[in-house]
Amino acid sequence: MYKGKRVCVVIPAWNEEEPIGHTVKNFLTQEVDELIVVDNNSTDNTAKVARRAGATVVPEPIQGYGAAIRRGLREALNRGYDLIIITEADQTFLGTDIPNLLEHIDKHHFVVGTRTATPYLEEGANMGLFLVVGNIAVAKLLGLLHGYPPLTDVGCTLRLIRREMLEAILPELDAEGAAFSPQMIVKVLQHSGKMKEIPVHYLVRVGEAKITTSKRKAFGTGLKMIRVILGL
């Protein structure tokens, strides 16, 4: 609960038995009323470990980062939550950043993290120069085209959205993969949502990476993101 508003955390998870237990405990902070882990066809013990750590687990058979998050967001709306936070299973984000996101939600519909603020990066985190520059470049394209020029990241999962804004944009979100992340930002801006980007901590991943596994893959992901930003 935060200022009388019910708070929910959504985590997409695909074979994350190693990091998920710690992540769930780390994000079940005093403000959080429920944490929903979306099990995206895991073949390991992700669901069991998440449940044992205190999460509600729901399945999503359609494979993909976007599909998994959408399922979690629908679930959060159905359960009546006012404020919805999204994060990852892999211990790269910190529950201690939740108050920093919440601090801005009275005045904004959407608060999104950026992982390109170097003092917030842990040494060895998967955000080297290539990804920092790439994210900032694509973010500037998004920001200038859609009306939020300060934007410096397009792929940061850690974010917070108000219920009424989520209800407005959810029917328009259809990206299955990583392009879901910038698509959500674009839709908030198209709905004239007030948004704010804040720096968040970004740590070394625990367990096996699924999206940003090589420069080549990251480049491909970037192109898909640009397509979504251009509305193609």
Ligand X SMILES: Nc1nc2c(ncn2[C@@H]2O[C@H](COP(=O)(O)OP(=O)(O)O)[C@@H](O)[C@H]2O)c(=O)[nH]1
The answer for residues whose C-beta is within 8 angstroms of residue 52's C-beta and 6 or more apart is 21
Instruction: Closer to ligand X by CB, 16 or 75: give it.
Output: 16
Do residues 176 and 183 lie in contact, with contact meaning Cβ atoms separated by under 8 Å?
A: no
Instruction: Closer to ligand X by CB, 16 or 82: give it.
Output: 16
For CA atoms 190, 194, 200, 206, give the dihedral sign: negative
Do residues 38 and 13 lie in contact, with contact meaning Cβ atoms separated by under 8 Å?
A: yes
Out of 16, 31, 60, 88, name the contact with Mg ion by CB under 5 A. Answer: 88
Q: What is the DSSP letter of 188?
A: H
Tokens (6 digits) for 96: 């201690």
17 binds Mg ion (CB under 5 A): no
Closest distance of CB 12 from ligand X, Å: 4
Q: Name the 3-class secondary structure at 21.
A: helix
The 90-119 site mask, x for binding Mg ion (CB under 5 A), equals x-x---------------------------
The answer for residues whose C-beta is within 8 angstroms of residue 94's C-beta and 6 or more apart is 26, 200, 201, 203
Binding residues for ligand X, rule CB under 6 A, total: 17
Q: Name the 3-class secondary structure at 178.
A: coil
Out of 8, 12, 47, 98, name the contact with ligand X by CB under 6 A. Answer: 12
16 binds Mg ion (CB under 5 A): no
Tokens (6 digits) for 115: 């992982």
Alpha helices in 2-159 (DSSP H): 17-27, 46-53, 65-78, 98-102, 129-146
In the region spanning residues 53 to 112, those forming contacts with ligand X, defined by CB under 6 A, are: 63-65, 68, 88-90
Binding residues for Mg ion, rule CB under 5 A, total: 3
Instruction: Closer to ligand X by CB, 34 or 44: give it.
Output: 44
Q: Which stretch binds Mg ion (CB under 5 A): 9-17, 89-97, 178-186, 189-197?
A: 89-97
Do residues 12 and 68 lie in contact, with contact meaning Cβ atoms separated by under 8 Å?
A: yes
40 makes contact, choosing from Mg ion, ligand X, none, with CB < 5 to 8 Å by partner type, with ligand X
In the region spanning residues 159 to 218, those forming contacts with ligand X, defined by CB under 6 A, are: 209-212
Instruction: Closer to ligand X by CB, 109 or 200: give it.
Output: 200
17 binds ligand X (CB under 6 A): no
CA 161 to CA 51: how far, in whole Å?
A: 24
| Helical (H) or strand (E) element with 112 | strand 110-114
In the region spanning residues 21 to 60, those forming contacts with ligand X, defined by CB under 6 A, are: 40
- Per CB under 5 A, residues contacting Mg ion are 88, 90, 92
- Per CB under 6 A, residues contacting ligand X are 12-14, 16, 40, 63-65, 68, 88-90, 126, 209-212
